[in-house]
């Protein structure tokens, strides 16, 4: 089974979120299920610098304003295809945002080019290899089914995976011609969305199958509360829509201890690194983008419940300036709160190793990975009851504790009052060492790898091509 993964980011080369982790981990996970997955990635500066000797497979004389090439690189044991288009990707700034923090104005063309390159590989193959399935990630690959339809290729199937429906790839209707899109599909049953082009909607409507990254998020997306205007489109595809939970790379996220009792030195080291004093309650960590989606404004409001119960908070992240300021003020005001702005992967590992609990109070969460890291390290997740958080954490309810299966704390509704109660409950559990240790052991043995999910993807790919 030959599958080409079409992604806008992929660890370890370039990452802004969980999509990159999935794109990087899934090829190796699928290999054991008889699926050869290769990855197509834009030739950003960081990618080109890491793959500077990649041979050229084919030339594209003109691609949305300039020449391009497809190169063949390598990512561990995975074959990597790189779309080298300097006029689109060789620039300072982020992969989606310019130095001014705004979207690159030519993002529609940049990722349309990625889609065109995927269709070229599907139609003609490269280096003697041609995929049977194109696995498309988010709106950046959403135009592939439309371009594939235009190309006349019928023997290559498409699966669109939605990692976050909040990002919909919108472009003005005036760009129909410049994006080389068929005007007859610009209608409510096609890729038209409130008078604009939506690359995500194009993928949802025209891909052979659609998936998202947890079963609960799949259900949520067909409701007005979570569907963000796409709920009706997804409901129309309900028979072709499924949720497959993400996993994590167990080699990358491997705790430095095998037994919960051995966490103590890492907790002490983390307190020292963040300048936190000893405390009577749990050391909680947040490793996250600082955004409203992540519910971190609610955490600011609920902080007294944690601190009054002897708990502490160490935060790593960046994002909304208002939230950065709020956490900075909290760190200045409370001795039990510490903040590091930015992102630091090694520090994230040390925080999850040394923390007692990891807080993920998201308003919505397609899958979430940090709670999976927490489970793996015995760092108990406190999560809102939504999306993949609901699918991966077993609540320390009376029933969960009585059955001896609890792995964390869930709360609902998603507001500051419920979060405050959950933080108080977390601290109460901390004061019961035997209960806490049992939960840690449950968490550390909970399956968070890719095995089951990779089998689900492999089964889906085979069903698509049967």
Dist CA 343 CA 215 (whole Å): 29
Dist CA 243 CA 236 (whole Å): 16
Residue 15 in marked binding region: yes
Tally the C-alpha atoms within 13 A of residue 139's C-alpha that lie toward its C-beta: 20
Q: What is the β-pairing status of strands 56-60 and 68-75?
A: antiparallel
Q: Are 285 and 314 in contact (CB under 8 A)?
A: yes
Dist CA 94 CA 103 (whole Å): 9
Dist CA 317 CA 459 (whole Å): 37
pLDDT at site 17: 83
- Using CB atoms within 10 Å of the CB of residue 466, give its burial: 0 to 12 exposed, 13 to 18 middle, 19+ buried: exposed
Q: Look at residues 325, 271, 257, 273 and name the one whose alpha carbon lies nearest to residue 297.
A: 325
pLDDT at site 323: 97
Residue ranges and CATH numbers for the domains of the chain are 2-247+450-465 (3.40.50.2000), 260-445 (3.40.50.2000)
pLDDT at site 227: 96
pLDDT at site 343: 86
pLDDT at site 179: 98
pLDDT at site 101: 85
Sorted by sequence, the CB contacts under 8 Å of residue 312 that are 6+ apart come out as: 271, 276, 279, 281, 282, 283, 284, 306, 336, 337, 338
User: Length of the chain in residues, anyone?
Assistant: 466
Dist CA 290 CA 296 (whole Å): 7
What global pTM score does this model have? 0.92
Q: What is the pLDDT along the chain (466 residues), one digit of tens a residue?
A: 999 999 999 999 999 888 998 999 999 999 999 999 999 999 999 999 999 899 999 999 999 999 999 999 999 999 999 999 999 999 999 999 999 889 999 999 999 999 999 999 999 999 999 999 999 999 999 999 999 999 999 999 999 999 999 999 999 999 999 999 999 999 999 999 999 999 999 999 999 999 999 999 999 999 999 999 999 999 999 999 999 999 998 998 999 999 999 999 999 999 999 999 999 999 999 999 999 999 999 999 999 999 999 999 999 999 999 999 999 999 999 999 999 999 898 999 999 999 999 999 999 999 999 999 999 999 999 999 999 999 999 999 999 999 999 999 999 999 999 999 999 999 999 999 999 999 999 999 999 999 999 999 999 999 999 9
φ and ψ of 70, to 5 deg: -110, 125
H or E segment at 170? strand 170-172
pLDDT at site 18: 85
- Using CB atoms within 10 Å of the CB of residue 156, give its burial: 0 to 12 exposed, 13 to 18 middle, 19+ buried: buried
H or E segment at 348? helix 345-354
pLDDT at site 298: 98
């Amino acid at each position: 089974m030959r599958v080409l993964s079409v992604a806008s980011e992929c660890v370890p080369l370039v990452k802004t979120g969980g999509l990159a982790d999935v794109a990087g981990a899934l090829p190796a996970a699928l290999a054991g299920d008889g699926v050869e997955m290769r990855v197509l990635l834009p030739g950003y500066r960081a990618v080109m610098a890491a793959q500077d000797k990649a041979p050229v497979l084919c030339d594209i004389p003109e691609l949305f304003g300039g020449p391009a090439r497809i190169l063949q690189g390598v990512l561990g044991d995975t074959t990597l295809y790189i779309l080298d288009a300097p006029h689109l990707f060789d620039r300072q700034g982020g992969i989606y945002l310019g130095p001014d923090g705004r979207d690159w104005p030519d993002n529609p063309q940049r990722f349309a080019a990625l889609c065109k390159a995927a269709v070229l590989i599907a139609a003609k193959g490269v280096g003697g290899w041609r995929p049977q399935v194109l696995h498309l990630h988010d709106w950046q690959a959403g135009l592939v089914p439309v371009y594939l339809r235009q190309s006349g290729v019928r023997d290559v199937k498409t699966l669109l995976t939605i990692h976050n429906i909040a990002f919909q790839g919108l472009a003005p209707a005036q760009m129909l011609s410049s994006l080389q899109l068929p005007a007859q599909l610009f209608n409510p049953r096609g890729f038209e969305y409130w008078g604009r082009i939506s690359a995500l909607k194009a993928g949802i409507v025209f891909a052979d199958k659609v998936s998202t990254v947890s079963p609960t998020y799949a259900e949520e997306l067909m409701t007005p509360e979570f569907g963000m205007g796409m709920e009706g489109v997804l409901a129309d595809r309900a028979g072709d829509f499924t949720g497959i939970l993400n996993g994590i790379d167990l080699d990358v996220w491997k705790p430095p201890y095998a037994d919960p009792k051995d966490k103590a030195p890492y907790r002490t080291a983390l307190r020292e690194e963040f300048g936190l004093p000893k405390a009577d309650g749990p050391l909680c960590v947040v490793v996250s983008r600082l955004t409203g989606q992540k519910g971190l404004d609610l955490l600011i409001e609920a902080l007294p419940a944690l601190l009054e119960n002897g708990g502490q908070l160490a935060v790593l992240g960046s994002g909304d300036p208002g939230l950065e300021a709020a956490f900075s003020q909290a760190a200045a005001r409370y001795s039990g709160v510490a903040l590091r702005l930015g992102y630091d992967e090694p520090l994230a590992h040390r925080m999850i190793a040394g923390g007692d609990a990891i807080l993920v109070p998201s308003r919505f969460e397609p899958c979430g990975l940090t709670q999976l890291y927490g489970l793996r390290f015995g760092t108990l997740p406190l999560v809102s009851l939504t999306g993949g958080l609901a699918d991966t954490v077993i609540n320390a309810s009376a029933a969960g504790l009585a059955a001896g299966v609890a792995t964390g704390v869930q709360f609902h509704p998603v507001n500051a009052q419920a979060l405050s109660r959950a933080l108080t409950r977390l601290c109460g559990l901390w004061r019961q060492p035997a209960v806490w240790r049992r939960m840690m052991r449950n968490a550390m043995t909970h399956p968070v790898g890719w095995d089951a999910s990779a089998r689900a993807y492999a089964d889906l790919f085979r069903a698509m091509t049967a």
